[in-house]
Amino acid sequence: MNTKRPRKFLFPRIDSNRAGRLRVSDIHELYWEESGNPEGIPVVALHGGPGGGSNPDMRRFFDPARYRIIIFDQRGCGRSSPFSELKENTTWDLVADMEKLREELGVEKWVVFGGSWGSTLALTYASLHRANTLALILRGIFLLTHAEIQWFYQEGASRLFPDAFDRYLAPIPEDERHDLVQAFYSRLTGSNAQERAAAARAWAQWEGETLSIRGPSMRPTKFEEQEFVDAFARIECHYFWNKGFFDKDGWLLDQASTFGNLPGVIVHGRYDVVTPLSSAWALKKAWPNADLKIISDAGHSSMEPGIVNELVGATEMFADRFSED
């Protein structure tokens, strides 16, 4: 008997039911939207970056008949304003924004879904608001540790993508390459518009070219758009230069060890270069209740078939579980 599960695919594209803006500080206003079943299981899907902005395909991991799907653009990106703003833009601000949005929309508890930086934010949120978290569905685990930043932004990943890495290095003089995050930060926050634009393109395209197991040829088109890459690169570098605004390196792993019976699914590509599998492995050891799915033929992108299969499988599994409660 063949007991292999049928492969899961993304749900069809749908429009949002409603959208709005939420003032979260004196200067920041968030864009949010909701789709699916207004009476369904609430889920908030967190985009990556930070600074990546949401996109309509994020809705497609959830059955719209069973989920109330909430997405929003984090501070400084997407349709939130002011665009590419770094002031009042920290991990703690974003967690507080999620709580304000949850209360604004009248949600008691929600499933929190996020990949890459979205996994970082989801873990941080659950650390501070465990009582409001039904479950976590995470992809491409990023714990925002010094080792992870050194791996991807300094030298480790260059051994697998030397062609893309040379393009990333191009705007930085050789005498500054010993600390690339610092070198990019000075340009992305400086007053020289030409240097800022060149640094933003190089930083963003490095990530875009390493997302897929298929390499640079699969770089998403949005990594060619100057407005997108400016916010993406500036906000990412701002967060990474500030070490995620965490009190200590490894803070998220310490927190995960307190999650207890919080249900979760972790999906991670074995050949993920952007966020290596070792982070997901460490998270699973700290949080034994989570179910780790290692995809043997995938990199970092959420759209690789094996990752889609497991993420959709996780949303369906939790839909079954929480519909029964």
Residues comprising the chain, all counted:
325
Question: Does the annotation mark 300 as catalytic?
Answer: yes
Exactly one of 84, 116, 212, 301 is catalytic; name it.
Answer: 116
Exactly one of 47, 238, 268, 300 is catalytic; name it.
Answer: 300
Asked if residue 200 lies in contact with residue 215, where contact means CB atoms within 8 angstroms, the answer is no
What is the DSSP secondary-structure string of 86-150?
-TT-SHHHHHHHHHHHHHHTT-S-EEEEEETHHHHHHHHHHHH-GGGEEEEEEES-----HHHHH
**What's the CA gap between 45 and 68, in Å, rounded?**
11
**What's the CA gap between 152 and 159, in Å, rounded?**
10
Please state, as a whole number, how many other Cβ atoms lie within 10 Å of the Cβ of residue 292.
19
Exactly one of 272, 279, 301, 302 is catalytic; name it.
Answer: 272
Token pair belonging to 136: 């976590």
Kindly give the interhelix angle for 226-241 and 180-188, rounded to the nearest 10 degrees.
Answer: 130
Q: Which residue has the tokens 């008949």?
A: 65
What Rg do the C-alpha atoms of the chain give, in angstroms?
19
Residues noted as catalytic:
116, 272, 300
